[in-house]
Structure 1
């Protein structure tokens, strides 16, 4: 659409985009897992399986490039091109494997390529949301999109394993190829406002210039810089506590059975999805300048969570410790999701459309870089304090107390709701 055309947000356009995102994100995540599993079965090499799965996620750090592209070109067309390209890559893999080429290198290249496409695809979606929904519905729309992303991380490995064992890798590839193609066809019918920008040099130079412009804008706008810092802090302190700490506590410290472990981790994952879907309800009463109150509540919940893994509580039996841990962990995970989406929505509303893709992508990249660092930190902490696992949680309590004070000082002049 051209810049002079009048556009009214339509639920149809948003629904089509979400449906396309479900197919694309689930398809990419499912394929990365299933192809890693295929390599494991083919080579019997566990380290290669883990390495391939990890390497296929590295291109997600290309988000700033995806953001620059999303601001430079028609976002609807980008989604269509990315899904058609994904379908073409999978088709090439089907043909190569059908011809007897089962090279691990070739599979790895395809996995990385799909991950690159996913990294470029997500900023186009995120930057399109404010253009497809009314301003008062933006929190709920962001929640739906984030819920889809969270759900893909939970369901894709499970569904990938089931489809892989039930249908085989060839049929799984055919289904994925068709799904990407269908998603691209659906996205053709989405209408997203677009103002064409003039080219002022070579494409690579323009993209690099746009990325620099995005970083300069983030640094210049104090609230957006604060939001990026907060997103990084949450991903460094709290998110890895559940990704690394929760499995160790449930499996090693509490010695949970397979079913209890699955229930515990499932409840934590579900709470993040629930937080994303209910953010619209909470955001009506949330204010930026009082976000430190949410941080304080999280800090208070971390204290009984630490208590749940003390010698005293563990001595009372399995269920008191397990129940106390989950009663604290579930609302914390939901609260972190709600805060994250609230902050992202506030940034979206303050950012001009021509910079939206870059700014959103920068937030995403910074948060993604912070999370692995936090995972390494908690991994070392829980290894060092294996006999006293409450110490890493108490360390998180201390960190969150400091963060609560910092948030209060940082955001006290940021009045109003998002």
Structure 2
């Protein structure tokens, strides 16, 4: 299956990226997990290596490569065993920057997308609200248009990169009476008066900064509107297949990493004079867990190939996230069990993996919400079409 999608250039890229992460990231991960602060310099190093620009146009400093380079980046990020670090990187690249590229005008692309590709600016995407959760249409944040500016009020929560980012891509209602047809998207500079952020304390993803953000009479220039007014909901929905597939790929990659670590451990660990990998019950458990991971991985590659061909794949990407994140939690829990008491110790990697993995079934749309979306597609025969490009 791997050879179907990856060529020699992909293989060399994976080797180079793996070496880079082992040298520049892995030695610092434990410190970043403890402090909740990722060194700013690593963003610049990622930018210099071109990792933030894999999908983006050459005109703004990107490399415009096929989607399987992104698959490799996501998979290798999971191997550093810091879900928080990985999330900070991909939330910048595939959440905030996706909107800059798709809805931003030339000014925004030159002043924000290009520096983001170089790692000079860090972005975040602000959708979820304290009272809304997965109910995007029920958001309360508003942006009232005045003569030469908008006034933004409201709050967002659970925002990855929400504390240390340089800019925010913010959704707000410009015509509340229209419901989801009255949402718009804005670019907000971090230092704009009225923007405040509070860092949140989390179960996992501890290296990344996650914040609740308040907007108090924030004045935004009219030019900071991204795309057309009142089309924000469509813009948000347009990119959900990418976000969900990213989380599905993350899930199979962390499960694969957990399985590899655990099988290596089982070869070395002995009980009753035999290595753990010789006990039939344990061997068969590992076979089942590995098989489930391989099925999700293969499916995710199929969906990645669809995105690579420009096919709008909401159903398939939703299945990817729903099933892969469920699988990852099961696999990592099973791997932790193989380590016995050591699996519960912080000095071994499974404890962190378990905490980090649990966010998969919540972020980017809970599994329950995804099931209802799939029910509308599979049972009610509802179809979702991409937003026409203007």
Q: Same fold (TM over 0.5)?
A: no
Greater strand share, 1 or 2?
2
User: Which band: TM-score by shorter chain?
Assistant: 0.3 to 0.5
Q: Relative contact order (C-alpha < 8 Å, sep 6+): which is higher?
A: 1
Report the TM-score when normalising by structure 1.
0.32
